[in-house]
Chains A and B, each alone.
Chain A
Amino acid sequence: MTRENEQRALLEAVFERINVGVLLLDDANRIVRWNRFMATHSGLEADAVLGRDLFDCFPELPASWLKRKLESVRLLRNYAFTSWEQRPYLFRFQHDRPVTGGVDWMRQDCTLIPISDSTGQVSHVCITVVDVTDASLYQSALQEANTRLEEASVRDGLTGIYNRGHLETRLAEEFARVRRHGGALSVVMFDFDNFKRVNDTHGHQCGDEVLRQVIRRTSSLLRAEDLCGRYGGEEFTLLLPDTPVEQAVRVAERVRAAVEATPIRTRNRELGMTITLGIAGYEENLGSHEQLLDNADKALYRGKREGRNRIALFDHRLDGQG
């Protein structure tokens, strides 16, 4: 064998045995090369497909889309790609994880490569098919874990509602939106009346249960776009987008009444519970979302001073009284 032939035989062996699907199409999309990976996974040996139209051999291929893609490779002389993340597979191949797979067909990353002949014209297109089933399973699992982590980082561990950090982020966003586009925004802050007594008399576990139940009751009275968050201790905040302050007063009153109406039932006792709520609405002269929160807090403070189990609306006369 001449040296050149020897080199060619080696390349041929690599082409056959490489653990990547490789096929070559001529200018009429006829298959002119077909390696072992393709034969094994498709169940079609080279002599069954060579010279035949790719789309005749594989009717399940997305023909119009893939033809357009092949055309663009020839016309633009450009590589093209498909990724399992957008298109799980090109060829319907079995994967090597029949038991632990959890996916239907082999996940694939494919590359379409323009191949030029000696005149510089694109004469062929080479398609490579890489089995990425393992990587895709791993990445999907990772993504799920990340989503859970992200959720955990914005939720309060005890009540399952949003924590202070997330609440402030969302409030800042809503505040910016109203400032830019106009509209309404209200904030309600509420606190449990004499909550310390519950903890002192019945223990923290009972106190925690009371918080959970009141939050559940409150959440059921809110719209989907409203947000309930724990501000700290026994202080909670409702963020009510698109809500003028008069409407927020009605929401607050409904929440107050719902808490007062039915005693909280814990494992072996019933506890009457009340809350006090402070309400403030967006105003153009507010400098920041913190000021809006501060106004709701001032209203809450006044409600407490005036005797608890009530709602109180922020009033500019409260400003400066602290």
Chain B
Amino acid sequence: MSLKSFSDDQLDALQETANIAMGQAGAVLARLLDHYVALSVPRAKPVQAADLAATVSAMLGPSLDLAVTAVRQSFQGRLRGEAISLFGTEGCSELADLLGHESGAGAEQQEELLLDVSNILVGAVLRGLGNQLHTDFAFSAPTLLGQEQGVAAILRRGPVDWVDALLLEVNFRLDPRNFSCHLVLLLPEESIDVLRQALDRMLGDI
């Protein structure tokens, strides 16, 4: 698979759809944290299972690459795939602080908080995508992939049942604070075809 199999129009539509979905998720996050959330321009990239860690590392940049905490969640529906949220270590404690948790909160509470926030973001982004593509999703429970580890170590984990996938990345940042979250959506090959058809329908409507 390569993004060449997407036409320029399809790619543009995908990026714009992701942009809108991310804007809606950003608004949810902003309401949750009571802070303005700076949004990045979403990125779409084809990725092979073997290169996933390297690709994600490159997206995060050197400051985050060394120690991240990651939450994984899968979604099902006509489009299925996995979402991985990556938080910087400082971001995790910032998050607890922003949500008014005392610094004395136990490790379990901190973890639960992280799972909650990432669940809310993933849900919001996918609901945004689903609304535009006229499809909806069911979600499995989020789980911690790893804490305060290098991206490579975290993404090496677990069985990988795909070879090619489409990676969509969005990035939320709280400017005055040290909080940032990179949300990576991975769509396996069979979902890419479904996505392409949905984008075509959208483009046909214009």
Contact = CB atoms under 8 A, between A and B. Distances in A.
Interface string B101-125: 0000000110110011001100110
The listed residue with most B CB atoms (<10 A of its CB), out of A77, A78, A82, A87, is A78
Given A109-B141, A111-B141, A79 B112 contact: no
A78 to B, nearest CB: 4
A79 B139 contact: yes
A83 B120 contact: no
B120 A78 contact: yes
B143 A78 contact: no
Contacts of A80: 116, 119
Interface string A69-89: 100100011111111011100
B23 interface: no
A78 B28 CA distance: 11
B182 interface: no
A280 to B, nearest CB: 28
A76 B111 contact: no
Interface string B32-72: 00000000000000000000000000000000000000000
Contact of A81 (B28, B109, B127, B142): B142
B120 A87 contact: no
Contacts, number: 39
A172 to B, nearest CB: 14
Given A86-B108, A86-B112, A87-B108, A78 B141 contact: no
A104 to B, nearest CB: 16
Interface string B74-117: 00000000000000000000000000000000001101100110
Given A86-B109, A109-B141, A111-B141, A81 B115 contact: yes
B119 A81 contact: yes
Contacts of A72: 120
Contacts of A86: 108-109, 111-112, 115
Contacts of A69: 116
B112 A78 contact: no
Given A83-B115, A87-B112, A76 B141 contact: no
B141 A83 contact: yes
B143 A83 contact: yes
A79 B109 contact: no
A79 B108 contact: no
Contacts of B28: 76
Interface of A: 69, 72, 76-83, 85-87, 109, 111
Given A78-B127, A86-B111, 18 more contacts: A76-B28, A76-B120, A76-B124, A79-B119, A79-B123, A79-B138, A80-B119, A81-B115, A81-B119, A81-B141, A83-B112, A85-B108, A85-B144, A86-B108, A86-B109, A86-B115, A87-B108, A87-B112
27 contacts: A69-B116, A72-B120, A76-B28, A76-B123, A76-B124, A78-B119, A78-B123, A78-B127, A79-B119, A79-B123, A79-B138, A80-B116, A81-B115, A81-B119, A81-B141, A81-B142, A83-B141, A83-B143, A85-B108, A85-B111, A85-B144, A86-B108, A86-B109, A86-B111, A86-B112, A87-B112, A111-B141
